[in-house]
């Protein structure tokens, strides 16, 4: 119905899946603490084990390699640290390399001091400059400690895929460590920690239809691990203290199961995205789709309209009953210049609108979006004509 809201902001958060809701309701009925040895505790622990198994299948590892936490931001702060252990032996990381278009949770550098962080440039499509990576690693003083690269699998604003495997090969050749932020790729791309060449993978529950406040740090093995961010009672094999969020973890696990089963539907989402972008360009030939020439997530489109501020367009879409983003939703609703567009060398003053689709969207939804865009674009053209006449 025309008066119903249409949600087109899945990269910010995906609506809670029915399967996740059902798993959470079931978990609410479990009274035990997962660390308790009695029957109630064992049932709670079993629910977490099932969720861990589901998340491990999502990224092709064993369940023992999954550490649950409160979200991707915590996972980033956990893994981005100078202090590691190989078994009981300390390992020091003295340099963190990050790509200029990373999510703010990664750009902040976790537990590294600002002077230990190097920001690497990207090309005009937002992809990491591999020569700059190799040069930075070549110049790194290995006697001070190892170097680490943190690189997203897919950009949260443009959807552009990073050359993760190529970057991992370069990092390996310099005996460095590799952390991959797979938050936007999970459920949209087949994930394999081994194939990506990652030492660690960062995941978020609410990006795949699980509850907010859930996430995971996935390791390539069980020997090399960061010194814990949260110390406590030894939960998560001592890697993350605090009683586990049983209800949230159960929902995360259920969403992970759905994500694995739904990868076959990605091509249908891509067809909808392509249909939408073709319609946008027909209505506004001067529209710019950022990163369109690069390999992107199937569900994501990030575009600018000359003469129309992104926040103005976002408000206009909202008034038409459509939820879209003016960039990424990671700053408490703050709308400002996109650091991604700045790094790409694009005109960041206007900003850009992000439309991110889900598996439940239809051709009718795309047509409704295009109808709203037609109205908004007509106002833009009228204003530009008035300004030109003046």
pLDDT digit of tens for each residue in the chain (390 aa)? 456 999 999 999 999 999 999 999 999 999 999 999 999 999 999 999 999 999 999 999 999 999 999 999 999 999 999 999 998 899 999 999 999 999 999 999 999 999 999 999 999 999 999 999 999 999 999 999 999 999 999 999 999 999 999 999 999 999 999 999 999 999 999 999 999 999 999 999 999 999 999 999 999 999 999 999 999 889 999 999 999 999 999 999 999 999 999 999 999 999 999 999 999 999 999 999 999 999 999 999 999 999 999 999 999 999 999 999 996 545 445 556 899 999 999 988 889 999 999 999 999 999 999 999 999 999 988 887 766 665
Q: Is residue 75 part of a domain?
A: yes
> Could you give the residue numbers annotated as active site?
330
Cα 92 → chain centroid: 27
- Residues 230 and 99 grouped into a single domain: yes
- Residues 236 and 329 grouped into a single domain: no
Of 212, 232, 261, the one marking the end of a domain is: 261
Of 210, 232, 261, the one marking the end of a domain is: 261
Of 198, 233, 261, the one marking the end of a domain is: 261
- Residues 240 and 278 grouped into a single domain: no
- Residues 272 and 253 grouped into a single domain: no
172: CB partners within 8 A, 6+ apart: 178, 197
For 3, 37, 243, 305, the CA distances from 40, given in Å and listed in that order, are: 47, 8, 15, 57
- Domain range holding 51? 19-261
- Residues 255 and 267 grouped into a single domain: no
Q: Is residue 3 part of a domain?
A: no
Q: Can you give the CATH number for the domain in which 219 is found?
A: 3.40.640.10
How many domains are there within the chain?
A: 2
Tokens of 298: 């199937």
pLDDT, residue 282, reads 97
- Residues 246 and 328 grouped into a single domain: no
Q: Say what angle helices 39-58 and 18-28 make with each other, to 10 degrees.
A: 160
Q: Provide the 3-class DSSP secondary structure of residue 276.
A: helix
Q: Can you give the CATH number for the domain in which 278 is found?
A: 3.90.1150.10
Q: Provide the 3-class DSSP secondary structure of residue 89.
A: strand
Gap between the Cα atoms of 320 and 300, Å rounded: 20
Q: Is residue 306 part of a domain?
A: yes
- Residues 248 and 275 grouped into a single domain: no
- Residues 165 and 273 grouped into a single domain: no
The pTM score is 0.94
Q: Is residue 13 part of a domain?
A: no
Q: Is residue 293 part of a domain?
A: yes
- Residues 62 and 78 grouped into a single domain: yes
Q: Provide the 3-class DSSP secondary structure of residue 159.
A: coil
Gap between the Cα atoms of 132 and 143, Å rounded: 21
Gap between the Cα atoms of 118 and 114, Å rounded: 9
- Residues 253 and 275 grouped into a single domain: no
- Residues 31 and 165 grouped into a single domain: yes
Region of 35 (left: φ > 0; alpha: ψ -120 to 50; beta: rest) is: alpha
Q: Is residue 78 part of a domain?
A: yes
Contacts made by residues 317-321, CB under 8 angstroms, sequence distance 24+: 317/353, 317/372, 317/373, 317/376, 320/372, 320/375, 320/376, 321/2, 321/3, 321/4, 321/5, 321/6, 321/372
């Amino acid at each position: 119905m025309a008066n119903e809201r249409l949600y087109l902001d899945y990269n910010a958060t995906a609506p809670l899946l029915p399967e996740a809701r059902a798993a959470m309701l079931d978990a609410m009925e479990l009274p035990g603490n997962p660390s308790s040895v009695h029957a109630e505790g064992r049932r709670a622990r079993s629910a977490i084990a099932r969720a861990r198994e589901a998340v491990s299948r999502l990224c092709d590892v064993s369940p023992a390699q999954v550490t649950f936490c409160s979200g991707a931001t915590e996972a980033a702060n956990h893994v981005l640290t100078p202090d590691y252990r190989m078994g009981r032996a300390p390992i020091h990381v003295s340099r963190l390399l990050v790509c200029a278009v990373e999510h703010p949770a990664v750009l902040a550098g976790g537990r590294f001091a600002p002077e230990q962080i190097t920001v690497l440039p990207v090309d005009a499509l937002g992809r990491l400059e591999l020569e700059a990576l190799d040069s930075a690693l070549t110049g790194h003083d290995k006697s001070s400690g190892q170097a680490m690269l943190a690189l997203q699998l897919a950009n949260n604003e443009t959807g552009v895929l990073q050359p993760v495997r190529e970057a991992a090969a370069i990092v390996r050749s310099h005996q460095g460590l590799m952390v991959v932020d797979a938050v936007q790729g999970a459920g949209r791309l087949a994930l394999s920690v081994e194939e990506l060449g990652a030492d660690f993978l960062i995941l978020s529950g609410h990006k795949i239809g699980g509850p907010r406040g859930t996430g995971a740090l996935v390791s390539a093995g069980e020997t090399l691990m960061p010194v814990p961010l949260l110390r406590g009672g030894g939960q998560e094999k001592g890697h993350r203290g605090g009683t586990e969020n049983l209800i949230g973890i159960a929902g995360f696990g259920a969403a992970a199961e759905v994500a694995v089963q739904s990868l076959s539907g990605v091509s249908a989402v891509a067809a909808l995205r392509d249909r939408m972008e073709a319609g946008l360009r027909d209505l506004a030939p001067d529209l710019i789709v950022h990163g369109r020439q690069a390999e992107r997530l199937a569900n994501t489109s990030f575009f600018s309209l000359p003469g129309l501020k992104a926040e103005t367009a976002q408000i206009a879409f909202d008034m038409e009953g459509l939820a879209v983003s003016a960039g990424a939703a990671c700053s408490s609703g703050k709308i400002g210049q996109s650091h991604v567009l700045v790094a790409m060398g694009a005109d960041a003053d206007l900003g850009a609108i992000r439309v991110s689709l889900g598996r439940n969207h239809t051709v009718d939804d795309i047509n409704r979006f295009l109808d709203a865009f037609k109205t908004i674009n007509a106002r833009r053209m009228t204003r530009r004509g008035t300004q030109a006449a003046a």
